[in-house]
Structures are given as structure tokens and as C-alpha cells.
Amino acid sequence: MQFALTEDQIAVRDMAREFAAEKIAPFAQKWDEEKFFPVDVMREAAALGMGGIYIRDDVGGSALTRFDAALIFEALATGCPTVSSFISIHNMASWMIDAYGSDTQRQKWLPRLCSMELIASYALTEPGAGSDAAALSTRAVRDGDHYVLNGQKQFISGAGTSDIYVAMVRTGGEGARGVSTLVIDRDTPGVSFGANERKMGWNAQPTRAVIFENARVPVANRLGEEGIGFKVAMAGLDGGRLNIAACSLGGAQSALDKSLAYTKERRAFGQRLDEFQALQFRLADMATELEAARTFLWRAAAALDRKDPDATMLCAMAKRFGTDAGFEIANQALQLHGGYGYLAEYGIEKIVRDLRVHQILEGTNEIMRVIVARKLVEGAR
């Protein structure tokens, strides 16, 4: 296990942190207020290698590790967790094509995905299938060289703007074994989108339903064989959970940094806030929780990189712990700011709103506990 970063990892992290400070942080509040999706800025990030972080380099990817990706997403999230999280989703969907697609499929989509000329979304959740993802009902019926799709995906980040959708659909019987994965073009006849959802946070990326009404998708767009779609989806989520935990830590780090600056400047009862021992202890606890979550995240990322048998469990643990810690640190930062923390101009309330959903998406934290408990119980038998 690695407790110190290499020179290359420090360079990658610092590059992402500088990009976030220059290109993201100054505009994050405005993007949130205006519900603006900064695709051009994300394409600038892609030009630095962040559009295909762990995609193989023969199609334009950066061929970095999951550990490197965790450093990058945390750094980007110091500028805006919402933007960093969407770049994570794009990377996750692209990786599924890289890992499970044929060479023809990889060459068709990935060069433009790595540059973010094309934007990708991940489409698993449905109105009646969230945590119970294996119960999804979007149906794909084979008709010659095409599948005819009917159904709806819900809570899809980037929907309406994204060019392609890596979607899990039912091609067979009930349960996980009846699920396959299709890459679906936005302009496919029969594909439409719901209204942009009004959300508590994550306002700098659109969230819409994706609706399929007799949409014809080529069989050539299927990733792998029929029936492995649930496996593909879950493999994507292992890395996605690390990424979203990293985004939580980046938001929490920003909130802690803002708190340190605020308590140094703000005075009460004749002294600076950072001179009160009670507040010093709170800051110390916030920093400790952040460092503990970061250390755990690094361990889980290293396990995924080396394909450790416990990697899925460790990713679930890191996601649960990291997103819970990130939200709590941001919430404590808001409390330290008092009434000012509730005002938009200080940037804290946006971080709190953005990080709250991280405890829900990529598998709720209750489902993370199910994954961990199942592994523990099976191991004890």
C-alpha cells in the first residue's frame, strides 16, 4: 500500500487542481445559479487527458490507473463537485466501451469520447428500478439486425446533451441474467428526453429521463454477449464509486479550506474564531475525517488496480465512508460560518447541496452496506 505519492502522481494531481482553480472555481456559483452545463470547459479538461483517464492509449486515452483517477477527481471537485462528478460519469461510461467493446466499437466511439467531442452518459436507473437495478424493465426485442427498445431511464446525468448513452436493457428473462448493454445514439428515432429535473444540487449538469418508444438500435451496438449487461454495469460502478467518493473529498477539502480562512478572519468576543479551542477541535476533527477517508479511498483504488478479490467490497466501503464524511465535513463548515454559511456568496451551501446526492447515487449508502455485509457473511460460511 502506498502512503506517499510519486512525482508523477503529484504532477497529475497538481495539474488537475490548477485547472479547477483557474477554469472551474471562479464560475461554479454562476453555473449553479443558471443551471449551465459547461461542456466547453470539460472539453478543455479532456485536452489535458481527463476525458479518458483510464482508457487505453491506442484510442486516445490517458491509460492511467484508478488511483490516478481518484487524485484527479478529488482535485477537480475542489473547483466544483458537480462538474467533476459528470466528468467521472463520462469516464465510467467510456470505460465500459473500452473494457467490453470490440475493437471496431472502441475505434468507432472512444477517440471522440476521450476528447469529449462526444459526451457519454450512463443509463441504468429506471422509475421502478433504482437500488434493485436487476429489476429493470426497459425491453429490447430483437428484430433482425436491430433491437426495438421501449421503456424509460430515470435520473440520467447529462441526458439531452450527451451524445451517447451506455444503457442497460432487458433482452432476456427476469433478473440480472436477462440484462444486456447497448450504446445508444442521442439522435436515434424514438429516443426522447423528459424535462430537466429541478434539484437540490448538481445544478451545473442536466438530469432528465431518457424515453424509448420503438427506438431501433443496431445489434452491432451491443457490448459483449447478451446477458452480461448487469455484470458490465456493476463493473463500471466499482470505479464510479471510487470517483464519487473522490468528488466528495474534493468538495469537503474546499469547504475545510474556506473554514480555515473564515475562522482566521472572523472575530467574536474579542478574539479570532480560530483561537477558540472548541472550534480548533472541530477543525481538527474535520481534517482527521477527511484524511481517514482519503487514505481509505487510496487503499480501495489500489485494490481495484491490482484486481484484488476484495476490490468490490473495498470500493463500496470507500464510497460509503467517503461520501458520508464529505457531506458531514461540508455541513460542519457551514455551521462554522454561522449565518454567512447559509448565503450563496460564500460557496459553502452549494458544496453541501452538491455533496448530499453523493450518498444516494452510484448505489445508495444503504446498498453499500448490503454489499459489504454480503461479502462478510459469505466469507464467514
Q: Active-site residue numbers?
A: 362
Which residue's C-alpha cell is 455485509? 373
Per residue, what are the HEC states of the chain? CCCCCCHHHHHHHHHHHHHHHHHHHHHHHHHHHHCCCCHHHHHHHHHHHHCCCCCCHHHCCCCCCHHHHHHHHHHHHCCCHHHHHHHHHHHHHHHHHHHHCCHHHHHHHHHHHHCCCCCEEEECCECCECCCHHHCCCEEEEECCEEEEEEEEEEEECCCCCCEEEEEEECCCCCHHHEEEEEEECCCCCEEECCCCCCCCCCCCCEEEEEEEEEEEEHHHECCCCCCHHHHHHHHHHHHHHHHHHHHHHHHHHHHHHHHHHHHHCEECCEEHHHCHHHHHHHHHHHHHHHHHHHHHHHHHHHHHCCCCCHHHHHHHHHHHHHHHHHHHHHHHHHHCHHHHHCHHHCHHHHHHHHHHHHCCCCCHHHHHHHHHHHHHHHHC
Distance separating alpha carbons of residues 38 and 161, to the nearest angstrom:
11
